[in-house]
Amino acid sequence: MAQLNIMLVCSAGMSTSMLVKVIKEEVQKQGLDANVFAKPSTEAIEYLEAEPVSVLLLGPQVGFMENNFKEVVGEKEIPIAVINPISYGTMNGKKVLEQALELINK
């Protein structure tokens, strides 16, 4: 069981899975114990209710769903944020990982 579960969500889980790849590389480089994965928005809520998630990052294109997810994870207190659009577009795994870790440690 990995220590950290970083979940990314976008519409179909396509572009976030590209980002997941670069974040995983960064995780390995930094020697972290983290499980990074992407889910389409249609499956995200069910997953959140059933599985452990340490932090939830939303693709900017589905940023409008932030409040939805906040309601769902309300009691579980999982930090949620929208990924910075520039980091997202440039597929900057390092920056996004930083954002995730900051949210967890807050």
Partner 1 sequence: MESKKFNKFVNLLNKFAAKVNNQKYIIGIKNTFATLLPVIMAGAFATLFSSVVFSPEIGLAQISSLSFLAELKPIADVINYFTMNFLTIYVVFVLGHEIGKLNKLKGVFPGVVSVISYLVLNPSFINFVTEDGVNLEIKNVLSRQYTNPEGLFLGMFMAVLSIELYTWLGNQDRLKIKMPDSVPEAVSNSFSSLIPTIFTVTISATFGFAIHFITGMYASEIIYSLVQKPLEGLIQGLPGILLLMFVAQVFWVVGIHGMQMVKPIREPLLLAAIAANTAAFQAGEAVPNIVTMPYWDIFMTFGGSGATLGLLISIFLVSKRPDYRKIAKMSFIPGLFNINEPLIYGLPIMLNPILAIPFIVTPLITGTIGYFAISLGFAARSVVMVPWTVPAIINGYLSTAGDLGTVFTQIICIIVSILIYLPFVKAANSSMIDETQALN
Kindly state whether residue 42 participates in binding partner 1, applying the rule CB under 8 A: yes
Of residues 4, 5, 35, 40, which one binds partner 1 by CB under 8 A? 40
Binding window for partner 1 (CB under 8 A); candidates: 10-18, 49-57, 73-81, 95-103: 10-18
Kindly state whether residue 60 participates in binding partner 1, applying the rule CB under 8 A: yes
Task: Please check whether residue 78 is in contact with residue 56, taking contact to mean a CB–CB distance below 8 angstroms.
Answer: yes
Distance CA 46, CA 7 (A): 13
Of residues 23, 34, 48, 65, which one binds partner 1 by CB under 8 A? 65
User: Whole-number minimum distance, CB 100 to partner 1, in Å?
Assistant: 17
Kindly state whether residue 68 participates in binding partner 1, applying the rule CB under 8 A: yes
Distance CA 10, CA 64 (A): 11
Binding window for partner 1 (CB under 8 A); candidates: 25-33, 37-45, 47-55, 98-106: 37-45
Establish whether 6 is a catalytic residue.
no
Distance CA 28, CA 52 (A): 21
Distance CA 45, CA 42 (A): 7
**CA atoms within 13 A of residue 26's CA, in its CB half-sphere:** 18
Catalytic residues: 10
